[in-house]
């Protein structure tokens, strides 16, 4: 019975570590800010707060043209990502002219609510596949009369285990069951 207990103690942590997925907390490891692409058009992206947060600032260059400040990266593996965001605009027309949102393969999902002058914040979660390009966008629809600043924090990426991982887990549990049965027969 001692061999069985030792086997369980040694095998179970390994088996359960396989199912938890690889996690990247904050802007670090594969998702360190140096690995992201900045696409700027009159605004800015401040990575000085990384790995804890990054800030995107929409354009306010005085033109009537729309502009985007994009901060993007390709997903390393199939993952679930999540982050918190805090938004504040100085635009005299409110958040309608400076929306913030999430990008997935070039598609923009607005997270701010149009027409509000008060600070806004929220949490966003999205599933991405390996190779998907995702990130954040600070948009200015008119690039005048004020800008918006959005801070992205608590950025988290948790890899989704592949089917082979579950097969290994089941094999490990089967081995424990086999050893347990064999030991009970010998007793």
- Return the CATH number of the domain spanning residue range 22-160: 2.60.120.200
| Residues 157-181 pLDDT 10s | 999 875 554 445 555 666 666 566 6
pLDDT at 182: 64
Question: What are the extents of the domains in the chain?
Answer: 1-20+161-187, 22-160
User: Between residues 184 and 17, which one has the greater pLDDT?
Assistant: 184
| Listed residue (51, 122, 116, 131) closest to 86, CA to CA | 122
| Residues 86-145 pLDDT 10s | 999 998 888 889 999 999 999 999 999 998 778 999 999 999 999 999 999 999 988 888
Q: 165 with 14: CB under 8 angstroms?
A: no
Coil vs helix vs strand at 115: coil
pLDDT at 18: 40
DSSP string over 36-64: SEEE-SSSEEE-TTTTTEEEEE---SS-S
| Listed residue (132, 151, 160) closest to 83, CA to CA | 151
Residue 35, Cα to own-chain centre: how many angstroms? 14
pLDDT at 9: 43
């Amino acid at each position: 019975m001692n061999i069985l207990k030792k086997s369980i103690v040694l095998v179970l942590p390994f088996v359960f570590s396989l199912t938890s997925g690889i996690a990247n907390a904050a802007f670090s490891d594969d998702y360190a800010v140096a690995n992201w692409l900045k696409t700027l058009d009159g605004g800015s992206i401040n990575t000085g707060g990384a790995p804890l947060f990054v800030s995107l600032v929409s354009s306010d260059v005085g033109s009537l043209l729309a502009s985007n400040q994009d901060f993007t990266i390709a997903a390393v593996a199939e993952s679930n990502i999540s982050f918190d965001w805090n938004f504040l605009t100085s635009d005299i027309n409110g958040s309608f002219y400076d929306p913030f949102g999430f990008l997935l393969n070039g598609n923009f999902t607005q997270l701010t609510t149009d027409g509000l002058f008060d600070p806004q914040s929220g949490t966003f979660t999205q599933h991405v596949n390996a190779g998907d390009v995702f990130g954040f966008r600070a948009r200015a629809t008119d690039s005048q009369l004020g800008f918006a600043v959005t801070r992205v924090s608590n950025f988290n990426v948790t890899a989704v285990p592949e089917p082979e991982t579950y097969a290994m887990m089941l094999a490990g549990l089967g081995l424990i069951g086999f050893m347990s049965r064999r030991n009970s027969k010998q007793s």
